[in-house]
Amino acid sequence: MKLEFRWTSPLVAIFILAIAGVPIYLLLRSGFFSTPVEESSANSVSVLEQEEVISALGRISPKDEIITVSGSSAFPNARVARLFVKEGDRIRRGQTIAILENITQLQATVEQAKIDAKLVQARLDRVQTGDVKQGQLAAQEARIANLEAQFQGEVAIQQAQIDRLEAEINSARNDFETLAPLAEDGAISQEYLNQSRLQLEILVEQLDAAKAVLNKINATFPSQILEAQATLDQLREVRPVDVRIARTELESAIAAVSRAEADLALAYIRSPLDAQVLKINTFAGESIRNGGIVELAQTQQMYAIAEVYETDIGKIRPGQKAIITSGIFPRELSGIVEAIGSQIGKRDILSNDPTLDIDVRIIEVKIRLEPEDSQQVSHFINSQVEVKIYITE
């Protein structure tokens, strides 16, 4: 009996250890006893990676946005006569884009203004030499003589009319006085007498009117003659003011030439900057529309405008690197944060993700793309992109 106990005790112990070792081995393989510090370290690395990058939606934009070139407000109904560019052309600052149909009229106005200026210059030369006074003196003397002759003629005509009316009145009065007794005796009718009286009254009224006209002539012409005589006396004086007046007139004529040339320049529609023609809104023969003639953009340098959450903007700094991606680009684009907006607004760029808050407050961050990337996206203005800004070095 003692011999059997010695052999069975070790066998039972080994069997118990074998059964207990299986679950321990399985727990070790599953990592149940792995060190908790390692899991915490992995989570820390994940959080750090999230804090190093700020993601945002954005759009592709040219430098200084899109510029609309239109005609001058001085020609609201002008038509385009000729168009010198087409969509996609790259143009230089000052290059002619189009000319307006009123250019011929404006050119004629410039030429007329130059002719007028030459005439005023000639008049100034005559004033300075004194030649102009001789002509003005002769003209003023002739005017005075004409006024005096007209005065005498008007007086003579009016006086003759007065004399005629007075004679007719005397004759009509005599007839009336002769007919009055006959009417009382019944030799003539009362109606005939009344006609004689009416004729006398009409003549008296005409005489009063003729005398009034004569009085007006006597009051008007002498004052006109005196005024003309005073002008003649002034012309006979040699005054520096005449030269100053002539010079002022010349300055005004030269200014008119400058204004006409400025208006003519407005008929040439020129590019305000080095840019690319994105779209043509008005073609030759059409009136300028509300959208202007052409739309330009400085596509030689493109930007990504990222809409960064207000809560994240404090982490953004100029000079930080950014990666821009989109489904329409063959590869990632790279850029540098150049400017941070100063105005808080709502999101303009919408996403298909229904969990995004469209009313979230954002600030626009301007990211300058690398030159080779600018060329790649110059034809994708306003396309939606995803932006990642690396906020740590």
HEC assignment per residue over 248-300: HHHHHHHHHHHHHHHHHHHCEEECCCCEEEEEECCCCCCECECCECEEEEEEE
Q: Where are the alpha helices (DSSP H) in 35-102?
A: 36-52
pTM over 0.75: no
Q: Is 50 exceeded by the pLDDT of residue 98?
A: yes
Q: Does residue 129 register a pLDDT over 80?
A: no
pLDDT of amino acid 17: 46
Which spans in 53-130 are helix H? 103-129
Identity of residue 208: D
Burial class (CB in 10 A: 0-12, 13-18, 19+), 213: middle
pLDDT at 318 (0 to 100): 94
Q: How far apart are CA 321 and CA 340, in angstroms?
A: 14
Using the Cα atoms of residue 206, residue 207, residue 213 and residue 217 in order, give the sign of their dihedral. positive
Whole-number mean pLDDT of the chain?
82
Contact partners, residue 67, CB within 8 Å, separation at least 6: 272, 273, 275, 295, 296, 297
The region of weakest confidence among 35-39, 90-94, 317-321, 380-384 is 35-39
Q: Alpha-carbon distance 363 to 306, whole Å? A: 8
Least-confidence region, from 20-24, 241-245, 259-263, 363-367: 20-24
Closest CA to 62 of 90, 81, 83: 90
Helices 103-129 and 131-185 pack at an angle, to 10 degrees, of 100
pLDDT tens, 161-187?
Answer: 999 999 999 998 998 888 888 888 888
Return d(Cα 148, Cα 155) in angstroms, integer: 11
Integer-rounded Cα radius of gyration of the chain: 53
What confidence category does residue 335 fall into, taking pLDDT thresholds of 50, 70 and 90? very high
Nearest to 380 by CA among 321, 324, 329, 305: 329
H/E stretch holding 150 reads helix 131-185
- Return all residues near 281 (Cβ < 8 A) that are at least 6 apart: 68, 289, 291, 292, 293, 294, 295
**pLDDT at residue number 68:** 93
Q: How many CB atoms lie within 10 A of CB 160?
A: 11
Query: Cα separation of 284 and 68, whole Å?
Result: 17
Buried b (16+ CB within 10 A) or exposed e, 347-364: bebeeeeeeeeeeeebbb
Which residues make Cβ contacts (< 8 Å) with residue 86, sequence separation at least 6? 277, 280
Closest CA to 325 of 334, 312, 316, 336: 334
Query: CA–CA separation, 100 vs 269, rounded Å?
Result: 8
Q: What is the dihedral of CA 141, 145, 148, 150, to 10 degrees?
A: -130
- Please, what is the end-to-end C-alpha distance for the chain in angstroms? 81
